[in-house]
Amino acid sequence: MKLSDMKSQSFSRHTLSEWQEAAEKALKGKGISSLHTSTYENIDLKPLFLAEDAPQIDRVKDYIPNIDDKLERTHKWYIAQPIKRESWGELSAAVRDALSRGQNCLSFSIGDLDKAQDLVPFMNDMGEFDAPVFSIDQATSIAIHGVRDIPERMEMTGVIGYDPISEEGWTYESRLERWLNVVEGSTMDLSGVKALIVNSAPYHNKGASATQELAYALSEGVAYLEAVQDRGWEIEKAAQTLHFHFSIGSHFFMEIAKIRAFKKLWQGVLTSYGLNEQSIVKSISISAETSRFNKSTLDSYVNILRGGGEAFSAILAGVDYLVVAPFNEVSGEVTPLAERIARNTQLVLGEEAHLNKVLDPGGGSYYVEWLSDEVGKRAWKEFQQVDKEGGILALLANGSIEEKIRVVRDARIKDLATRKNSMIGTNIYANLEETLPISPAAGERLSLPFERVRERAQKLGDIPTAGLIGLGELKTYKPRADFVKGFLATGGIQTHQSTDCFSKEDILQFVEETRYPYYVVCGKDEEYLDKLSMITEAVHLVDSSIVVDLAGRIPEENRSEWILKGLNGSIYNKQNILEKLDALLTIWEEGKENEEA
């Protein structure tokens, strides 16, 4: 068919009921409900969205409030990769190198450097670059605001501050007042600098849902406005000095919706304070970082893919500044290669995916518009509840917010443990040859329970090995054997698979030759019914202390009988991996203790 003919082709329109009928036929009787997904925000995601699902909104006003500024700017967002080094000279050279390689924002962390001695020369040296400053690091921001003799900084633009509410101890009452004293004592011209930071990343990195993050960010924003108004600030100045920072997780569309929803909600808050549209537009300032919560020290190169997808979400949502974390940051040591990959991730998305040439490209999608609206409604309801219960500071102090976040975090970890969700290299497709870092970075992460299990296996010295007994021909037990191998690998346990076992003598020979403390029998359910007594007898003839499991779920009606026959348990799909591996590693740990004794 010629291209001209293809262009003239058209497709007949179908009704929703026709689509549902076709879908149910393909699902073989499961029903459309099986395609629905429930999120941690308690939002039910349908498999298909239509025009009538999309809300009637002013898309530009709600989701691209600063459209004129973005259209005029060469950069649709600022690449704000923070740079940290061991000396001022190294820091200066690294910042210059990053700016020469595509970074368009001055972002650095002074860490433990002597700020009293060399911060002024460093800042003056950086003054030659026409780029905004981005620093939400506590020590760096306090140092910059505290220095008195940097003339160039009077014309600084960008974001320089940190969030005492979310980043410091949640029960420390005077933390906000202390930071406001620093800001008010700064000689910096705040007209071009955002110094009041609402950082929702600490909530995200404890496991909060998207709606919780939004609610707490809005609540913090209101707390700031009320606090500075009490100190005599004009509401316009207060609003335009505020900046919001978010962490972007792995749920691609949810994260787009989260940032878009925030823009609409915060405009509503500012409107209630009496600000006009022009002032509101100047008060929408958003940055984002890729999530730390979903990164793993296991198979850390996968973090590059996770970070890339999260950066994609953030850019589509329209953030002003973006930080892509180096893939090995959670391992405790960031390399120059990791920094380069993180920076280049943004450059590739901008220059090769052409995301620096569009604004809000997800807008207009029925799904994205519906989800943005739905997330916004639920976040607003949560925000109102926080306000009703006394505000963000009070709920942080009494532990209410931490408890609400804990419930979501536990649900996320359970879903990983039962493989409802996958984390490549962590709870599936684990690499047994990998060695964990000695001192991973501090902080809560989804993968930590799995990393701790792997650490236990690593401390044993020799890699723990389990025997797999294959019943019958390879083709009959291979699927279960492969599943067991992958299951045990997540706990750092390697496997040794037998040849085909057809008799008690075959099993006895394999066990005598290997003498492992743990074996898993892999076969068909009907073989278990016929041969279980023979299998456990053969294994325990060699050593009565050997632990025997089956591959596959044990029928409840047979459980008691099979346990009496010497069976320990089983390994099966949707089982809690962490609980099972915790019990299994004890076998090797006790064996090591007995050897040492």
Going from the N-terminus, what domains does the chain have, and what CATH number goes with each? Answer: 18-48 (no CATH), 59-404 (3.20.20.240), 460-596 (3.40.50.280)
Confidence of residue 57 (pLDDT cuts 50, 70, 90): confident
Whole-number pLDDT of residue 149: 66
Q: What share of the chain is helix, strand, coil (3-state, %, to 5)?
A: 55, 10, 35
Q: Average per-residue pLDDT in the chain?
A: 92
State the pLDDT confidence band at 338, using cuts at 50, 70 and 90.
very high
Say what angle helices 577-596 and 448-459 make with each other, to 10 degrees: 20
Q: CB neighbours (10 Å) of residue 371?
A: 26
- Return d(Cα 326, Cα 307) in angstroms, integer: 8
Q: How far is CA 159 from the centre of its chain?
A: 24
Bigger pLDDT: 285 vs 8: 285
Whole-number pLDDT of residue 150 = 62
Residue scoring higher pLDDT (264 or 150): 264
The reported pLDDT for the residue numbered 187 is 67
pLDDT at 542: 93
**What is the model's pLDDT at position 456?**
94
> What is residue 5's predicted lDDT score, i.e. its pLDDT?
78
Residue 597, pLDDT score: 60
User: From residue 306, how far is each of 24, 219, 303 by CA, in Å?
Assistant: 33, 29, 5
pLDDT tens, residue by residue, 389-416: 999 999 999 999 999 999 999 999 999 9
> Is the pLDDT score of 438 beyond 80?
no
**What pLDDT was estimated at residue 118?**
83
CA distance 224 to 238: 8
Mark 460-475 as b/e (b = at least 16 C-beta within 10 Å).
eeeebebbbbbbeeee
Residue 246 has pLDDT above 80, yes or no: yes
pLDDT band at 1, cuts 50/70/90? low
Comparison of pLDDT for 30 and 316, the residue scoring more: 316
* 151 pLDDT higher than 60: no
**Confidence (pLDDT) at 441:** 67
Half-sphere exposure for 200 (CA within 13 Å, toward CB): 32
Look at the block and give the residue holding tokens 């001209």. 4
Query: What is the arithmetic mean of pLDDT over 352-375?
Result: 94
pLDDT tens track for 183-217: 988 867 777 899 999 999 999 999 999 999 999 99
- Spatial distance between the Cα atoms of 339 and 347, rounded to a whole number of angstroms: 13
Q: How confident is the model at residue 62 (pLDDT cuts 50, 70, 90)?
A: confident
pLDDT band at residue 48 under the 50/70/90 scheme: very high
pLDDT for res 73: 76
What is the spatial distance between Cα 347 and Cα 64, in angstroms, rounded to a whole number? 22
Confidence at 128, pLDDT banded by 50, 70, 90: confident
- State mean pLDDT over 101-127: 85
**In angstroms, rounded to a whole number, what is the distance separating the alpha carbons of residues 53 and 348?**
34
Q: Which residue has the tokens 């005077």?
A: 174
Q: What's the pTM?
A: 0.93
Which one of 182-191, 491-500, 585-594 scores highest in mean pLDDT?
491-500
Alpha helices in 27-129 (DSSP H): 59-63, 67-72, 88-100, 115-126
Mean pLDDT throughout 568-588? Answer: 96
Contact 261, 373 (CB under 8 A): yes
Residue 98 has pLDDT above 80, yes or no: yes
